[in-house]
Structure 1
């Protein structure tokens, strides 16, 4: 397997880390016309809330594990991310570095935003170890995109996965209007887009993954602070 294909494997399997919560209860998309950049750097920051003291936890499914096993690949955490063993299996938890956006608590499918995560993962194969770090993700209209660095090379995904915005449980602690609130997302499924499935097929050949395959479940939480206008 070539170096490029191994790097694509790492990026493809870690793509779900680039979205859902960093883009929903946090992130910022500048109307879909600009670059996501690092969270907190968009021109519309004054109209967006922020997320702090948060983390994202990704639990990959047996279907994703099958693809890892196909290449004898093992996932390890890159600090400050860490592996977490729960009742449903192994997850990786990454702190949210910074993020902003609109979680749309009343209508989750309308959530949008972008954000950045600290740490990352390494994908260990018989051919070497490939670090996936500098994770930045965005979400809009239920589609997740993002970019990351894989062993020193930057890789991007314009349409990597679909987020089960109505299938996960999004809760918020009651607080006075305009005040910071603790929000939590539980068990939101992530499925690849057709674009991602096609790219994976081109790189690695036949496989059972389709647009209906759940590759991971996300649980995350943090403190959401509404934009200044909402606090007045």
Structure 2
């Protein structure tokens, strides 16, 4: 597998991890205006359409600890602990959620042509798009926005607490659809089209304790 193919495959598989409710680009929001996220996790469950592409490459996906595989009646997912996060989950309007976050662990993908190990996951959620950086086989890479999280389609639940107090936030079953850039890159590299901008490739569920800013 060439370096280009490894990079695209790694980005395609990693991008869903970056679509979490803990994120906006640092530097675009005034200091002190973002809350923090703790005791959190992000779970990514890929759809049968995404599994078709993994099968196409004879790819086997495993979790890199402390992330772990989760299998149930809905399918297979990877759950990642949130190392750190800052942002605004926007309980009143999830589509306005923004912030940045780092996940612990990673994913390892094995194919007949080579292995890909993706770690050091850092994500940004801003203006309804997910992007960020990660390390692929130890090499740092960044990529453009490749997924559109459908936050308004997810199920949002929050604790009832006094204004300004920490509260547990859970945003479940958020669909991820590819951007035109991802569709174009994937098609040019691997042939296709294998999916469109309307294809749901994964669902994300995220949970954590959100502490509002003190100022």
Same fold (TM over 0.5): yes
1:87 aligns with 2:83: no
- Number of residue pairs matched by the alignment: 215
Structure 1 residue 76: deviation in Å?
A: 0.4
1:1-232 paired onto structure 2 within 5 Å? 1-19=1-19, 21=20, 24=21, 26-30=22-26, 32=28, 44-229=30-215
The 3-state SS of whatever aligns with 1:166 is helix
Question: Any idea what the Cα deviations from partners look like across 1:182-204, whole Å, max 9, x if unmatched?
Answer: 11011000001001111111111
Separation in structure 1 between the aligned mates of residue 140 and residue 183 of structure 2, nearest angstrom? 20
Question: Does the CA-based 8 Å contact 1:28-1:48 persist in structure 2?
Answer: no
Give the TM-score taking structure 2 as reference length: 0.95
1:28·1:99 contact (CA, 8 Å) conserved in 2?
Answer: no
For residue 31 of structure 1, report the CA deviation from its aligned partner.
Answer: 5.4
Aligned equivalents of 2:213 and 2:55: distance in 1? 44
1:105-132: CA deviation from partner (whole Å, max 9, x where unpaired): 1111111111010000011101222100
| Structure 2 segments unaligned to the other structure (5+ residues) | none
Q: Cα–Cα, structure 1 residues 16 and 167, in superposed 2: closer, same or farther, change >3 Å?
A: same
SS in 2 for 1:203: helix
1:155 deviation in Å? Answer: 1.9
SS at match of 1:47: coil
CA deviations on 1:147-182 (whole Å, 9 max, x unpaired) are 111112222222111010110011111001100001
Name structure 1 gaps, 5 residues minimum.
33-42
Q: Structure 1 length normalisation: TM-score?
A: 0.89
Q: CA deviation at 1:30?
A: 3.2
* Secondary structure of residue in 1 paired with 2:153: coil
Match of 2:203, SS state, is strand
RMSD: 1.4
Which residue in 2 is equivalent to 1:39?
Answer: none
